[in-house]
Structure 1
């Protein structure tokens, strides 16, 4: 069936699955999952072990997989993360769908997870196709305003070629940039992850795979949400 959603908001069960009474159990699960990863357990088996132990449902397990990380991953990500203010006068490369969907979700009342590594991650997913939602334009304008204040030299958005509507979204980014005078470009590439990891430019992403390979990155979505969207539905899973 075609995707007809107008918002990227909460799942109908989220109020129950992520109620305050559920958080101690979920935080313990994140701790245990991360403990197993640190000791070399495969992510799939560790997720099943911890998920079964705490009787987590599918959506809670997705949250667990995004919130946890090994000690080694945590330390590496902290070592390569720059203060967001350091993008001033620098060239920046954005993981386009990753950033845009997180901000859309936050604006539409969806859950955003505060993860062990300090990143904010949503529970949305793109399966082969991207569709704009009501909050897309607001997300563009908010991201643009924050980036404008930080004054990077240039910004390049990367979108996944295999995902349909990537070309249209890249063109919309270029149109928005021209209308506002932002130093932005947008490209559609086969594998943005590879490009972000290989580049010497500062990466904007919260994708774990990218953060484990990127030379330098900034935690832009966390900066934007904490400074501009204090009422977003943020679930803190980073601490016990």
Structure 2
């Protein structure tokens, strides 16, 4: 669903909100707001990237696809980031798929307009390069986490990541998605989620996840959550509010 241009006000995306007011004013007329439903593909592997996306609510999973049809999440993009980084780095394709995992709203910028904006707004290029470094840290830490930490630690880490990007304590989540995000079989996720629920950390049912004890989840997570969060704050500043 598209919105009239007059509906675009102060952006909720942290990257856009961090731009100087005059630069944001220059860019705003080219931004198109849309609703994005769950499972929508914003970036398909090895296909031309025709636009970049700045999420305002909800979040997008960046997935590495394997030859046997399986996929593994390598990163998450919410209101702190942007989908379409290959265009910033000089490529118009990527091997990674960007799939909406939690529905929300996004500001879309066509590829041509994005390239022009990089030339016309130096602050935008600098900001996005810093975001690229932070996202690279997230990808690297995700790989280290998946290869070295226990499932319950990884589940706690992922739930914290989702909670950071949700608009409240409750958000849509299925065991199928959790298994795909954590690169494990579904029975393992079912058991770990049940233990968290019994401990009072979460409430889960009918495709909805509710965070009941944020502090308890932070205690159950591995160090990877804090490492990535620190890197984002170091490069981009702490989230407002």
Q: One fold, TM greater than 0.5? A: no
Structure with bigger strand share is 2
Report the TM-score when normalising by structure 1.
Answer: 0.27
Report the TM-score when normalising by structure 2.
Answer: 0.27
